[in-house]
Amino acid sequence: MLYLSQTLNSRVEDNANARIGRLKDILVEIKPGAYSPLAFLLVRNKKGDDLFIPFDYCENLSPHLVSLKASFEKITLATPSNNCIYLNRDVLDQQIVDVDGARVVRVNDISLGIFENKMCVLGVDVSFKGILRRLGFEWVDVFGWAKVHLIDWRKTQSVKGVLKLDTISKDLTKLHPADLANIVEDLNFHYGTKLVNTLGSKEAAKVLEEINPHLQKILIKHLGPEKATRIIEKMSVDEIADLMQLFSQREAQKYLSLLQEAKSKKVEKLIRYEDDSAGGLMNSDFITAKPEWTAVEAIEEIRLHSPNMRSIMFIYVTDETGKLLGPISLRNLLLAKDDQKLSTLYKSADKLAVLKPHYSLEKIVNIMTKYDLFSAAVINGGGRIVGIVTIDDVMRCLAPKA
Amino acid sequence: MKIFERIKNYRWFIKLSFILAVIGPGIIAANADNDAGGITTYSIAGAHFGTKMLWVLFLITFSLAVTQEMGVRIGIVTRQGLGGVIRENFGLRWTAFAMLLMLVANIGTITAEFAGVAAAFSIFGWSKYLVVPLSALAVWFILFKGSFKTTQKVFLLFSFFYIVYIINGFVIGPDFGAALKSLVTPTIEWTTPFLVTMIALIGTTITPWGQFFIQSYVVDKGLDIKHYRTERWEVFIGAFITDIVSFFIIISTAATLYKHGIRISDAKDAAIALQPLAGHLAQLLFAFGLFVASMLGAFILPAATAYAICEAFGWENGFDTTWKNGKIFYGIILACIAVPALIVLLPRISLIKIMILSQDVNGILLPFILLFVMKIINDKRIMGEYTNKLLGNVIAWLTIVGILTATACLIVASFMGLN
């Protein structure tokens, strides 16, 4: 197995064994989901000039010696395209995302090998063994305890150098937002920001919601008002409210003024509640319906609002003043006859557990556990529904580090 | 509530909150310099050599300010700890070298902290075999069960105790004129004890771990380049405050111990310097100060060391990782507590000597860490437009050369037996 570290600083000779210089770097073109074939050798000659030699000229790449197929005069030097990354500069010793493991690792070495008749990057070594190899201390490991741990190149995402949509691994964007958030937290801030920047606003919003508040604040400030607003707009109202509370009033006002008016109104309403109370935890992603509607009409209403909501478990029946009559679960709605009136379907709110905005976290947990609720409605003094608290909001408060 | 909301929108409040947001790194890092090793070294410098070493203190105040400012700047620009920056720009071998230096220096410093704890309690006749294991356990417990941030704040608050030295200095009313003159009059004795103390004095003021600490503090706080100007002043003020305290420790000991020819061989002797202010409570006061300062270092340093090493080598770190994933992280912390505690527990070892010699180790290793810092800060690819200006470079290079020369002199002096 050949490692990048073994080839760096090797002598580079042409086919007449004339010395050209030393190998300083190897360039590859990044294609997501593929082993990248080597594209150029970066060779530094005696005068200190950097030459980019296309890898097609390479006869043999081995530790200590790189030999070329042609004589140096016949080689056409080239300028690499912008899509190239430098293995030594951008990958070796840098942080890289292990997409399968959904974590950030540091590259101790890079393994090279033949794949489909081409010399390619096969994997990155993140093991202790890799460290020992590069320090020349492999002999220390007499019992062979240290194992090489290679991560498949196709399952990695480099973050230094080019990072454009077409070089982002598809598997990375498929990761759960919470995993992506952990990755952003672990990356150097510059690359974390870069990664968030390459995501679409909607994706970025989901990721941002999962990031720890301290970093959230720094990220938002760093992204600049324009990009930040586009992302904030896609976040759910309760998350925006939490986020705004991290900022001074003046700054929060600035961001809120950039949002659509309806949304910023809702956020402002939420901000007035204490963080760890039902009012602070709740979001306004809920659907209300009138008692005289039929089941079909209610389902149509859900279809209409669904794209803007994170999750829907209940539909809330209210009277004409907005007072909560009771919830209907999606299940009951599906089981109901098409023309069945909602008034016959809902469970009366009087008999059910509902929350008040001032309820403490402990009280919410007790109620939700006791009645086995995935989400619970929050009503104000007049009995109007003002929001819902879902189980994931509660869990986040209970296990803030996850 | 309403009033507070309104205050929040005033211009001066915004300015003030901006300053408050930045405050911390410089003053905290500088203040943490006055740890067990620091107080002992300054006390000995004053007790054994009077005000002869004040000029060194004067010069290294500038060195401290400049080196800490460079750490801040690297942190702001790279958004990464020093370990990570070294790894990404110098490769693995140099990283391993730098990390080894830091580890040795830090273990030395932690040893000094535990020696400080032992020395503080020795004043009351408590055995080190009791207090050192107990405090090691306490450090371990705080790190794993307690809140790192709260504890850090509590100890920092206590460590402002050193202000008593300033008051004490005025109570003694030493010859300030002479002291100020010594600040600018270089005097040197070509003897091993003098050079040992001098290098310790440098090594306790500007430390390898301080360089790592301030940079990661800036990174954790997420400071931006727009905070830089304010932050730079905070660092300068921090350096000034630390060395003001050091100045008063030296003149206090010089005016009490040196004057009467008392040499410091244990903590009780050093406590005498506080007698003019505290009378018979001097020992209590000194013991308390030494204890909190030691504990502060003893629990910042193991975690800081583990963070830096894990960052450089890419190992999982942080107290929210599981034991299984964070084996190395927790392992380093454990070793950084256990090894120093065991060294202090060696029978018949001189606590004062540990404290001084560990600072020498720091001083001797410091130039090598500073060389990395210098290389980074002058690299346009890393720092962009924020590379060093001429004055910063001159002061930093003089510091490096100065320490290397002092070390060379020490080696020569000790070989020639100049005692």
Residue A265 lies in a domain: no
- Domain membership of residue A320 as a residue range: 281-398
Structure tokens at A190: 């510059």
Query: What pLDDT does residue B16 have?
Result: 59
Q: Do B92 and A190 touch (CB under 8 A)?
A: no
Is A214 within the bounds of a domain?
A: no
User: Least CB-CB distance to A249: which of B9, B78, B313?
Assistant: B9
ipTM: 0.79
Domain count, chain B: 1
Q: Do A249 and B8 touch (CB under 8 A)?
A: yes
- pLDDT score, position A343: 86
Distance from CA of B358 to the nearest CA of A (A): 28
Beta strand segments in A272-383, E: 287-289, 314-318, 324-329, 375-379
CB contact under 8 A, B222 and A215: yes
Within 8 A of A92 by CB-CB distance, chain B residues are 91
Are A189 and B5 a contacting pair at CB < 8 A? no
C-alpha–C-alpha distance, residues B227 and B229, integer Å: 6
Nearest-angstrom CA–CA distance, B362 and B109: 8
Q: Would you call A156 an interface residue with chain B, using a CB distance cutoff of 8 Å?
A: no
Query: What pLDDT is stored for residue A284 in this prediction?
Result: 79
Return the exposure string of B57-92: e unless at least 16 CB atoms fall within 10 Å of the residue's CB, then b.
Answer: bbbbbbbbbbbbbbbbbbbbbbbbbbbbbbbbbbbb
- A296 and A160, same structural domain? no
Q: What is the least distance, in Å, from the CA of A200 to any CA of chain B?
A: 24
Average pLDDT over residues A301-314: 84
Contacts of B80 in chain A (CB under 8 A): 188-189
Is the predicted pLDDT of residue B144 greater than 90, yes or no? Answer: no
Is residue B9 scored above 70 in pLDDT?
A: no
pLDDT score of A351:
62
Using an 8 Å CB-CB cutoff, list chain B residues near A106. 87, 313-314
The verdict on residue A130 lying in a domain is: yes
Is A221–B224 a contact, with Cβ atoms under 8 angstroms apart?
A: yes
Report the residue of A86, A106, A128 to disrupt the B interface, i.e. the one with the largest count of B CBs within 10 Å.
Answer: A106
Residue at B183 is within a domain: yes
Q: Does A190 touch chain B (CB under 8 A)?
A: yes
3-class secondary-structure state, position A338: coil
C-alpha distances (whole Å) from B409 to each of B54, B71, B101, B406 are 19, 29, 21, 5
In a domain, B389, yes or no: yes
For range A347-372, the mean pLDDT = 82
Say which CATH number the domain at A110 has.
Answer: 2.30.30.240
* Chain A with chain B: Cβ pairs closer than 8 A: 52
pLDDT of A167 strictly over 80: no
If we measure between CA atoms, which residue out of B81, B136, B152 comes closest to residue B317?
B81
Is the CB of A401 less than 8 angstroms away from the CB of B320?
A: yes
pLDDT at B55 over 90: yes
Q: What is the pLDDT of residue B10?
A: 54
Same structural domain, A144 and A2: yes
Q: What was the pLDDT predicted at B20? A: 54
Range(s) of the domain holding residue B299: 34-415
- Cα B16 from chain centroid (whole Å): 28
* A349, A291 Cβ separation under 8 angstroms: no
Residue B19 lies in a domain: no
The DSSP 8-state label assigned to residue A90 in this structure reads I
Mutate to test the interface with A, among B14, B74, B88, B382 (most CBs of A within 10 A): B88
Tell me phi and psi for residue A224, to 5 degrees.
Answer: 85, 150
> Does A250 contact B314 at a Cβ distance shorter than 8 Å?
no
Between helix A128-135 and helix B82-122 the angle, nearest 10°, is: 100
At residue A394, the pLDDT reads 86
> For residue A101, what pLDDT is reported?
84
Same domain, A159 and A11: yes
On the question of pLDDT at A308 being above 80, the answer is: no
Q: Does the beta-carbon distance from A93 to B91 stay under 8 Å?
A: yes
The answer to whether residue B16 is domain-embedded is no
Residue type, A136: G
Contacts of B95 in chain A (CB under 8 A): 93
The answer to whether the CB atoms of B314 and A218 lie below 8 A apart is no
A221: in domain: no
CA distance A91 to chain B (A): 9
Which residue did the predictor score with more confidence, B137 or B323? Answer: B137
With tokens 């490692």, the residue in question is: A3
Flag whether B25 is in a domain: no
Residues 304-333 of A with CB under 8 A from B: none
Contact A90, A160 (CB under 8 A): yes
CB contact under 8 A, B87 and A93: yes
pLDDT reported for residue B2: 44
Candidate from A92, A189, A217 with C-beta closest to B79 = A189
Q: For residue B391, is it within any domain?
A: yes
pLDDT of the residue at B1: 37
Contacts of A94 in chain B (CB under 8 A): 88
**Whether residue B206 has pLDDT greater than 60:** yes
Look at residues A156, A175, A194 and tell me which one is the last residue of a structural domain: A175
| H and E: helices and strands count for chain B | 20, 0
Which residue of A105, A106, A135 is in closest CB contact with B96?
A135
* Beta-carbon count within 10 A of B347 CB: 6
**Predicted confidence (pLDDT) at residue B3 exceeds the cutoff of 70:** no
The closest CB to that of B314, out of A105, A189, A221, belongs to A105
Is the pLDDT at B357 greater than 50? The verdict is: yes
Same domain, A5 and A131: yes
Min distance B323 CA to chain A CA atoms (Å) = 15
Q: Do the Cβ atoms of B219 and A189 come within 8 Å?
A: yes
Task: With a cut of 50, say whether residue B288 has pLDDT above it.
Answer: yes
Single-letter amino acid code for the residue at A86? Y
CA dist B51 and B40 (Å) reads 15
Tens digit of each residue's pLDDT (9 = 90 or more) over B363-406:
999 999 999 999 999 999 999 999 999 999 999 999 999 999 99
Residue of B nearest to A128 (CA): B313
Whether the Cβ atoms of residue B29 and residue B175 lie closer than 8 Å to each other: no
Question: A28 and A168 share a domain?
Answer: yes
Please give the Cα distance from A383 to A373 (Å, whole number): 20
**Same domain (yes/no): A286, A171:** no
Evaluate whether residue A262 is within a structural domain: no
Q: What residues of A are in contact with residue B87 (Cβ under 8 Å)?
A: 93, 106
- pTM for the full predicted model: 0.81
- C-beta separation of B310 from B329 below 8 A: yes
Indicate whether B86 pLDDT > 60.
yes
Among A175, A202, A237, the domain boundary falls at: A175
How many independent structural domains does chain A possess?
2
Q: Do B314 and A126 touch (CB under 8 A)?
A: yes
| Cα separation, A272 vs A36, whole angstroms | 53
pLDDT of residue A27: 93
Residue A299 lies in a domain: yes
Q: Given a cut of 60, is residue A206 above it in pLDDT?
A: yes
The per-residue pLDDT of chain B, averaged, comes to 86
Task: State the Cα–Cα distance between residues A48 and A64, nearest whole angstrom.
Answer: 19
**CATH number of B128's domain:** 1.20.1740.10
Q: Give contacts of A249 with chain B, Cβ < 8 Å.
A: 5, 8-9
At A350, which CATH number? 3.10.580.10
Phi, psi of B310 (to 5 degrees): -65, -35
- Inside any domain, residue B13: no
The dihedral region occupied by A147, where left means phi > 0, alpha psi between -120 and 50, and beta the remainder, is beta
Once rounded to an integer, what is the mean pLDDT over residues B6-12?
52
